[in-house]
């Protein structure tokens, strides 16, 4: 996974018109002072961000100022800047589901989501299900011993919560189907599914 | 990831201002489920990424005056599954359900699904789409490669899960660019192509051309279906797939569209399979005959003979499903 680094300079290859229109005064500043562009240019119908910039992200109900580059993923911000290490970097391309979080109510992979696309959106991580009054899903995972190494667990906890929120009366088959986007290499699927079934039957499905 | 500029457009016109005329310099970002992984592996290295998810007109699902449906490229797959209009196109619904991952459905968009890059492992490991002019697949491990249309250098398979259904249903793409005033409606069946030279993409769009909407004709009598053959319940891509659309009258097939997926560098329209069905009632025997006709054109590579049988089964099951004679799969 790519660490956030300063990049070496502005990209080229765009038409002069688009470049001027997009970057305007900041490009001029860069040329004059030879500095790294720290740019966010807002035109009427476009925004252009080049280099590192500070944005505000709303995570688990709190607003945070974070410094991101265009290539910074939401997962990198959560783990490296906000110390929210629940979502895990397992696959580079989101195929494991271990970095599942909610952005604007949708379950997305933080590993394939650019942080800049999450401005003005409500982000919720697995940490929002913990604390002094944990959600029923992590409790059911504990009860059913639904983890081994634990790497996939936070992604699964979010997936189970999200799936049961949408399908509170799901059958075992529907649960298996619904959790297909998450992979567990230890093979604790049976226990995870038991935890989910228990939540449906026990009504701890708040 | 290589450093790049992040650009966000809030209107369709804004996108064109941000796109480069040079191939590979700019990439459109929708859900990101495919693009971000490719960029992390440096398979795709744009100088600028243009996010189209904040354009309101790309998020619509609207009936057309003719009774069809317009779907914005940035509509997520899970939103399609919950839409009453979309439900009238069972082949599309089944294809999206087959994607089988809550996250991919919530994050991925229909435009991105249609435009996703091939899963070919040579491509995904930096050997290019044609992978040394086709020799890597021809001489190497070709178990997931094309069994149709693979005589040229392109041996990868088109990876879109919804394209066979959309083509069978007669979908068009609304394409804007390269100039600001350019707007065209391209049949999806003409969107994909097997590249012949390095640097060519797997579709026909020029730089600064981009897809804004997918347009479906009226749903008709809904005798259509998608059937995917997968090796597990998990989120893996299918080994073969087929979509079928039938026009039935008096108990026999008047017209048929059979489109295979995951078996050729493009979605594979099988005219021979459709011809077999015309004038006949749909039965397990005629459906199998359509499958048999489809694979008469197969030219498997040394490592993927097994996919020919799977393609035949996919056609048979899709036809039976479309006629309402089988409820298997999803």
Least CB–CB distance from B5: residue in A45, A49, A182: A49
Assess whether A142 and A196 both reside in one domain.
yes
Closest chain A residue to B76, measured at CA = A106
Using an 8 Å CB-CB cutoff, list chain B residues near A181. 100-104, 235
Domains of chain B listed by start with CATH number = 58-330 (3.30.390.50)
Assess whether A78 and A116 both reside in one domain.
yes
CB contact, 8 Å: B67 with chain A? no
Beta strands in A6-164 (DSSP E): 39-42, 46-50, 53-59, 62-68, 100-103, 106-109, 122-124
- Looking at the structure of chain A, the number of domains it has is 3
Min Cα separation A6/chain B (Å): 8
Residue A178 lies in a domain: yes
**Total beta-carbon pairs less than 8 A apart between chain A and chain B:** 156
Least CB–CB distance from A108: residue in B17, B25, B106: B106
Kindly write down the DSSP assignment for every residue of B80-139, as one continuous string.
HHT-TTGGG-HHHHHHHHHT--HHHHHH-BHHHHHHPPP--HHHHTTSTTTTTTTHHHHH
Assess whether A169 and A190 both reside in one domain.
yes
Residue A98 lies in a domain: yes
For the cut 80, the answer to whether the pLDDT of residue A196 exceeds it is: yes
Q: What value does the mean pLDDT of chain A take? A: 84
Rounded CA-CA distance A56/A62 in Å is 10
Assess whether A38 and A68 both reside in one domain.
no
| C-alpha separations of B43 from A3, B139, B262 in Å | 17, 22, 21
Least CB–CB distance from A70: residue in B5, B37, B102: B5
Using an 8 Å CB-CB cutoff, list chain B residues near A183. 234-235
Closest CA to A135 of A108, A112, A96, A162: A162
Residue B181 three-state SS: coil
Rounded CA-CA distance A75/A183 in Å is 18
Give the domain-ending residue among A126, A155, A182.
Answer: A126
CB contact under 8 A, A94 and B235: no
Q: Sign of dihedral through CA atoms B274, B278, B282, B284?
A: negative
| C-alpha separations of A104 from A167, A191, B78, B227 in Å | 19, 29, 14, 32
pLDDT digits (tens), chain B, 330 positions: 999 999 999 999 999 999 999 999 999 999 999 999 999 999 999 999 999 999 999 999 999 999 999 999 999 999 999 999 999 999 999 999 999 899 999 999 999 999 999 999 999 999 999 999 999 999 999 999 999 999 999 999 999 999 999 999 999 999 999 999 999 999 999 999 999 999 899 999 999 999 999 999 999 998 999 999 998 877 889 999 999 999 999 999 999 999 999 999 999 999 999 999 999 999 999 999 999 999 999 999 999 999 999 999 999 999 999 999 976 544
Give the domain-ending residue among A74, A107, A126.
Answer: A126
Encode B275-299 in three state secondary structure: HHHECCCCCHHHHHHHHHHHHCCCC
Residue A1 lies in a domain: no
For the cut 60, the answer to whether the pLDDT of residue A11 exceeds it is: no
CATH number, domain at A166?
Answer: 1.10.150.120
Assess whether A91 and A103 both reside in one domain.
yes
CATH number, domain at A74?
Answer: 3.10.20.30
Min Cα separation A196/chain B (Å): 15
Min Cα separation B262/chain A (Å): 19
For the cut 60, the answer to whether the pLDDT of residue A14 exceeds it is: no
Which residue blocks in B47-89 are alpha helix, DSSP H?
77-81
Give the domain-ending residue among A83, A111, A126.
Answer: A126
pLDDT bracket for residue A146 (50, 70, 90): very high
Residue A28 lies in a domain: yes
For the cut 90, the answer to whether the pLDDT of residue A35 exceeds it is: no
Q: Which residues of A53-64 are buried (b: 16+ CB within 10 A; e: fewer)?
A: bebebebbeeeb
Residue A11 lies in a domain: no
Using an 8 Å CB-CB cutoff, list chain A residues near B234. 180, 183
Assess whether A159 and A177 both reside in one domain.
yes
Closest CA to B166 of B213, B105, B107, B104: B213
Please give the backbone phi and psi of residue B216, each rounded to the nearest 5 degrees, phi first: -105, 140
Assess whether A122 and A59 both reside in one domain.
yes
Residue A46 lies in a domain: yes
Instruction: Give the range of the structural domain holding residue A22, as residue numbers without chain letter.
Output: 16-50
Using an 8 Å CB-CB cutoff, list chain A residues near B20. 13-15, 18
pLDDT bracket for residue A92 (50, 70, 90): confident
Residue A159 three-state SS: helix
Assess whether A118 and A181 both reside in one domain.
no
Using an 8 Å CB-CB cutoff, list chain A residues near B6. 48-50, 70, 114, 116
CB contact under 8 A, B7 and A46: yes
Residue A2 lies in a domain: no
pLDDT score at A17: 40
ipTM of the complex: 0.95
For the cut 60, the answer to whether the pLDDT of residue A171 exceeds it is: yes
Residue A102 lies in a domain: yes
pLDDT score at B234: 78
| C-alpha separations of A114 from A74, B6, B168, B179, B272 in Å | 5, 9, 34, 29, 45
**Burial of A81 by CB count in 10 Å (0-12 exposed, 13-18 middle, 19+ buried)?**
middle
Assess whether A122 and A138 both reside in one domain.
no
Q: Is A112 within 8 Å of A73 (Cβ atoms)?
A: yes
Sheet with A122-124: strands ordered across: A62-68, A53-59, A122-124, A100-103, A106-109
pLDDT score at B328: 56
Closest CA to B163 of B98, B84, B230: B98
Q: Is B143 within 8 Å of B119 (Cβ atoms)?
A: no
Closest CA to B207 of B4, B28, B9: B28
């Amino acid at each position: 996974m790519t660490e956030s680094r300063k990049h070496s300079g502005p990209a080229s290859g765009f038409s002069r018109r688009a470049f001027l229109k997009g970057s305007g005064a900041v490009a001029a500043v860069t040329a004059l002072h030879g500095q790294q562009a720290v740019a966010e240019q807002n035109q009427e119908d476009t925004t252009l961000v080049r280099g590192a910039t500070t944005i505000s992200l709303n995570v688990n109900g709190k607003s945070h100022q974070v410094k991101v580059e265009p290539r910074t993923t939401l997962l990198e911000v959560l783990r490296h800047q906000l110390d929210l290490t629940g979502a895990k970097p397992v696959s580079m391309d989101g195929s494991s589901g271990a970095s599942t979080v909610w952005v604007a109510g949708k379950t997305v992979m933080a590993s394939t989501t650019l942080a800049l696309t999450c401005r003005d959106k409500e982000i919720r991580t697995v940490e929002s299900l913990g604390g002094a009054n944990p959600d029923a899903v992590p409790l059911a995972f504990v009860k059913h011993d639904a983890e081994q190494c634990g790497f996939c667990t936070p992604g699964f906890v979010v997936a189970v919560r999200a799936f049961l929120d949408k399908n509170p009366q799901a059958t075992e088959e529907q649960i298996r189907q619904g959790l297909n986007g998450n992979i567990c290499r230890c093979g604790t699927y049976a226990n995870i599914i038991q935890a989910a079934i228990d939540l449906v039957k026990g009504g701890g499905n708040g | 990831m290589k450093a790049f500029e992040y650009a966000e457009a809030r209107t369709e016109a804004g996108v064109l201002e941000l796109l480069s005329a040079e191939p590979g310099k700019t990439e459109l970002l929708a859900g990101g489920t495919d693009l971000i992984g490719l960029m992390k592996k440096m398979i795709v290295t744009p100088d600028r990424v243009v996010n189209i998810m904040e354009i309101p007109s790309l998020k619509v699902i609207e009936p057309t005056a003719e009774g069809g449906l317009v779907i914005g490229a940035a509509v997520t797959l899970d939103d399609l599954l919950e839409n009453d209009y979309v439900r009238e196109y069972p082949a599309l619904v089944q294809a999206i359900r087959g994607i089988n991952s809550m996250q991919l459905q919530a994050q991925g968009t229909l435009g991105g699904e249609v435009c996703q890059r091939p899963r070919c492992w040579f491509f995904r490991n930096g050997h290019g789409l044609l992978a040394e002019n086709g020799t890597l697949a021809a001489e190497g491990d070709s178990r997931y490669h094309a069994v149709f249309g693979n005589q040229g250098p392109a041996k990868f398979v088109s990876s879109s899960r919804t394209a066979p259904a959309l083509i069978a249903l007669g979908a068009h793409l609304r394409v804007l660019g390269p100039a600001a005033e350019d707007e065209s409606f391209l049949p999806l069946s003409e969107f994909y192509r097997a590249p012949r030279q390095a640097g060519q993409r797997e579709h026909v769009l020029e730089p600064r051309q981009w897809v804004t909407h997918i347009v479906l004709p009226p749903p008709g009598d809904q005798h259509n279906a998608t059937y995917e053959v997968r090796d597990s319940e998990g989120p893996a891509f299918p080994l073969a797939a087929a979509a079928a659309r039938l026009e039935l009258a008096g108990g026999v097939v008047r017209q048929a569209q059979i489109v295979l997926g995951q078996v050729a560098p493009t979605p594979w329209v099988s005219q021979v399979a459709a011809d077999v069905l015309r004038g006949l009632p749909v039965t397990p025997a005629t459906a199998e005959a359509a499958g048999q006709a489809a694979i008469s054109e197969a030219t498997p590579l040394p490592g993927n003979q097994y996919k020919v049988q799977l393609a035949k089964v996919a056609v048979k099951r899709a036809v039976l499903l479309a006629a309402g004679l089988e409820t298997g799969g999803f």
